[in-house]
Amino acid sequence: MQRTDTVIIGAGQCGLAMSHELSRRSIDHVVIERGRIGNSWLTGRWDSLRLLTPNWLNGLFGPVPGDPDGYMSAADFASTLAGAAAEISAPVMETTRVTSVRHGGDGYVVRTEQGTLSCASLVLATGACALPRVPAFASGLPKSVTQLTALSYRNPAQLPDGSAVLVVGASASGLQIARELALSGHRVTLAVGQHTRLPRVHRGADILTWMHLVGVLDTPFTRLDDLERMRRQPSLALLGDPDRVDLDLNTLQALGVEIAGRLVAVTEGRAWFSGSLANLCASSDLKMRRLLDRIDAWIGARGLQALVDPPEDIAPTRIPDDPILSLDLRARGIAAVIWATGYTPDHSFVDLPVFDRKGRIRHHGGRVGNGLYVMGLPYLRTARSSHVSGARRDARAIARDLIARPGWRAAA
């Protein structure tokens, strides 16, 4: 059995950032990756996906190549991760699947398909988007309807030419997939639940630039009134398009996408939608307006009005006069349903009493306890925790906590 101070599971941006911080502190460690480095970016994303964050926010250990205001593809980002791993000489065991993690002696025993390791501390860096979240009533869909998720969808060629498609979910994944399908000639209906709305550009700069400058991304988890609510927030509805176009329900409707409320059931070949579409859209518009007002106030307080573009009027989300409440799938010719209803982490290999009643790992800013840590979850420490720019910060905080554990070296 191989012995090391720390085992890191996952070689994405979080795992590599953690490896770098441990190497800086001369802590012996191993990084275990089920596939290649950056595996989820290579195998769990659709072909056209680009990162939502501009390149200047995507450097793990330094600037990434290309236009700092551009948006790199998922495959290109995976390549940058491989380069980063080589740069720091990360001790990565690729194509090694972890089968179980258990307590063992003075630490943990990590069993893999390639052998067993023991360690004093353990970091779970497998991310938040390992498995698709699909509602139980999906089983009620007719067998003739193809079902895909945001993890299994690759491109419009998977579907019959010109077919009708129901996309369920209006976060970034659902909006992007609905847009791509509409542009490729498919008839798309989009089921809309809770969602965000943001312009790609505000007053001449990328919205994430403003969020960075104003400090929206940096409120620590300890200062939030309702941390659980923040961790449940939908992803930012943005598109990494070189033309920096907006992605929202209005732009989709202009492409011919039909919007409906949240999908609540499927019975006897009919889809049923809630009547809350108008309220959901009004709430999303209000939150967007509050953020833009906060940015404008920040600009005004610093006397920067003359240096930036004037604010633009943004039309409220258009609501159909007669929103769909139910849909006969066969009559509408729905050939496929794409579930863009969110993701969950995959911690099924963790055989430890660290889960809450909903199956989520209990943690405090990434610290689970007894030398166990988790990374890459929504609002782990700040809003940046889900972004590349947050990996180094979170890793630094966790590394400090790890070496502060009494006697941890003796245990190794």
Provide mean pLDDT across the span 70-74.
Answer: 94
Nearest to 255 by CA among 180, 153, 195: 180
Sheet containing strand 326-328, strands side by side: 263-267, 270-273, 326-328
Place of tokens 């090694």: 96
Tell me the CATH number for domain 132-339. 3.50.50.60
Q: What pLDDT score does 114 carry?
A: 92
Q: What pLDDT score does 411 carry?
A: 42
Q: What pLDDT score does 337 carry?
A: 98
Looking at residue 258, the DSSP 8-state letter turns out to be E
Asked whether the beta carbons of 118 and 111 are under 8 A apart, the reply is no
pLDDT tens per residue, range 126-139: 999 999 999 999 99
Angle at CA 238, nearest 5°, toward 62 and 178?
Answer: 130
User: Which whole-number Å values give the CA distances from 276 to 194, 227, 261, 323, in the listed order?
Assistant: 10, 25, 6, 10
Does the pLDDT value for residue 217 go beyond 70?
yes
Asked whether the beta carbons of 124 and 350 are under 8 A apart, the reply is yes
Q: What pLDDT score does 111 carry?
A: 98
CATH topology identical between 2-130+345-411 and 132-339: yes
Place of tokens 């398909």: 113
Q: State whether the Cα torsion 278-283-289-292 is positive or negative.
A: negative
Angle at CA 116, nearest 5°, toward 39 and 126?
Answer: 30
Nearest to 209 by CA among 310, 144, 298: 298
Q: Is 319 exposed, middle or buried (0-12, 13-18, 19+ CB in 10 A)?
A: middle
User: Distance between CA 82 and CA 37 in Å, rounded?
Assistant: 6
User: Distance between CA 223 and CA 158 in Å, rounded?
Assistant: 45
Q: What pLDDT score does 66 carry?
A: 86
pLDDT tens per residue, range 312-329: 999 999 999 999 999 999
pTM attached to this predicted model? 0.94
Looking at residue 130, the DSSP 8-state letter turns out to be S
Give Dmax over CA atoms of the chain in angstroms: 69
Q: What pLDDT score does 409 carry?
A: 58
Provide mean pLDDT across the span 378-392.
Answer: 93
Asked whether the beta carbons of 110 and 359 are under 8 A apart, the reply is no
Sorted by where each begins, the domain ranges of the chain are 2-130+345-411, 132-339
Provide mean pLDDT across the span 61-84.
Answer: 92
Asked whether the beta carbons of 376 and 12 are under 8 A apart, the reply is yes
pLDDT tens per residue, range 166-179: 999 999 999 999 99
Asked whether the beta carbons of 171 and 197 are under 8 A apart, the reply is no
Asked whether the beta carbons of 68 and 54 are under 8 A apart, the reply is yes
Asked whether the beta carbons of 116 and 2 are under 8 A apart, the reply is yes
Q: What pLDDT score does 412 carry?
A: 40
pLDDT tens per residue, range 183-192: 999 999 999 9
- CB proximity list for 24: less than 8 A, separation 6 or greater: 399
Q: What pLDDT score does 410 carry?
A: 41
Chain-centroid distance of CA 359 in Å reads 19
Give the 3-state secondary structure of residue 59: coil
User: Distance between CA 389 and CA 400 in Å, rounded?
Assistant: 18
Domain 2-130+345-411 coded CATH 1.10.287.610: no
User: Distance between CA 294 and CA 277 in Å, rounded?
Assistant: 26
Does the pLDDT value for residue 407 go beyond 80?
no
- CB proximity list for 81: less than 8 A, separation 6 or greater: 11, 12, 13, 16, 37, 38, 41, 60
Q: What is the mean pLDDT of the chain?
A: 94
Angle at CA 124, nearest 5°, toward 119 and 129?
Answer: 160
pLDDT tens per residue, range 145-167: 999 999 999 999 999 898 999 99
Phi-psi region of 196 (alpha: psi -120 to 50; beta: other; left: phi over 0): beta
User: Which whole-number Å values give the CA distances from 381 to 178, 390, 401, in the listed order?
Assistant: 32, 9, 13
- Which band of pLDDT confidence, cut at 50, 70 and 90, is reported for residue 311? very high
